[in-house]
């Protein structure tokens, strides 16, 4: 399903695989959670065995990413409670009115008498939409602080993602959305309150487009001023989402 137009307009996105509709949160709505909580929740939901070395995948070859995610989320200790809360808050932000519950084989989403589930069958598609509406890949991946037997074993192997035990390293301060909102408000001469009502997708789309336009205009001005041997500027109207 092509959701480019839905992402650009900021509308809610149907997810028929689970019978739910995903809300695209605005920067202002994300602020209620805080960037650290938001990106931490996205990081955990994006768990993937792909970052492991081949030798480390052997013991997990019969487990899907979703299987391992569920096992991690169901660990019972203080550290995992914080991580579990981050995931829960992200899910409930993009699914207003639903309560997330982590079961043995599914993440159940409950609202009154309704129950919808994220499972092995639909989780990959769910993550694709989540990453688009959250701009998680653009916003930066944060350190994930696991604990518990299974989570710790996995974390020890996740050197590429810098997955650490909670006591090793305090979380870094995040101000990604705040900084980019300020840049766009200033760059486009907008009231900051307009920008914080954009979604992450819209914010980064506008930022990338503005940077291309500035580079293009600067290149043209330099040529008109007589500059030689300049590299051609990228077309600022090109497709930036392919």
pLDDT tens digits, 199-234: 999 999 999 999 999 999 999 999 999 898 888 889
pLDDT (0 to 100) of residue 55: 67
pLDDT (0 to 100) of residue 242: 76
pLDDT (0 to 100) of residue 80: 79
Average confidence (pLDDT) over 127-147: 68
Model confidence pLDDT, tens digit, residues 85-112: 999 999 999 999 999 999 999 999 999 9
Phi, psi of 115 (to 5 degrees): -140, 120
pLDDT (0 to 100) of residue 86: 93
Instruction: Give me the helices (H) in 95-240, please.
Output: 123-134, 136-139, 149-157, 176-187, 192-195, 200-224
Q: What is the separation, in whole angstroms, between the first and last Cα of the chain?
A: 15
Q: Give 156's pLDDT tier (boundaries 50, 70, 90).
A: very low
User: Cα–Cα distance between 50 and 174 in angstroms, integer?
Assistant: 26
Average confidence (pLDDT) over 174-182: 88
What is the C-alpha radius of gyration for the chain, rounded to an integer number of angstroms?
Answer: 20
Model confidence pLDDT, tens digit, residues 4-13: 999 999 999 9
Contact of 151 with 63, CB cutoff 8 Å: no
Residue with tokens 């990959």: 124
What is the value of pTM for the model shown?
Answer: 0.82
């Amino acid at each position: 399903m092509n959701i480019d137009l839905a992402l650009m307009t900021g509308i809610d996105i149907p997810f028929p695989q689970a019978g739910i509709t995903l809300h695209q949160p605005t920067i202002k709505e994300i602020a209620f959670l805080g960037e650290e909580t938001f990106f931490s929740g996205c990081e955990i939901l994006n768990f993937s065995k792909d970052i492991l070395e081949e030798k480390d995948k052997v013991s997990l070859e019969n487990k899907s990413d979703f299987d391992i995610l569920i096992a991690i989320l169901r660990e019972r200790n203080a550290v995992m409670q914080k991580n579990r809360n981050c995931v829960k808050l992200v899910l409930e932000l993009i699914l207003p009115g639903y309560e997330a519950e982590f079961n043995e084989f599914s993440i159940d989403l409950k609202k009154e008498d309704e129950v919808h589930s994220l499972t092995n069958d639909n989780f990959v598609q769910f993550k694709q939409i989540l990453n688009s509406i959250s701009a998680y890949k653009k916003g930066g991946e944060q350190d994930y602080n696991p604990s518990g037997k299974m989570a710790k074993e996995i974390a020890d192997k996740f050197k590429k993602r810098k997955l650490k035990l909670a006591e090793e390293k305090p979380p870094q301060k995040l101000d990604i959305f705040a900084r980019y909102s300020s840049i766009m408000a200033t760059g486009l001469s907008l009231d900051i309150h307009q920008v914080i009502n954009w979604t992450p997708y819209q914010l980064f789309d506008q930022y990338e487009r503005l940077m291309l336009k500035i580079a293009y205009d600067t290149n043209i001005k330099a040529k008109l001023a007589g500059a030689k041997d300049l590299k051609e500027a990228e077309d600022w109207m090109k497709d930036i989402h392919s």
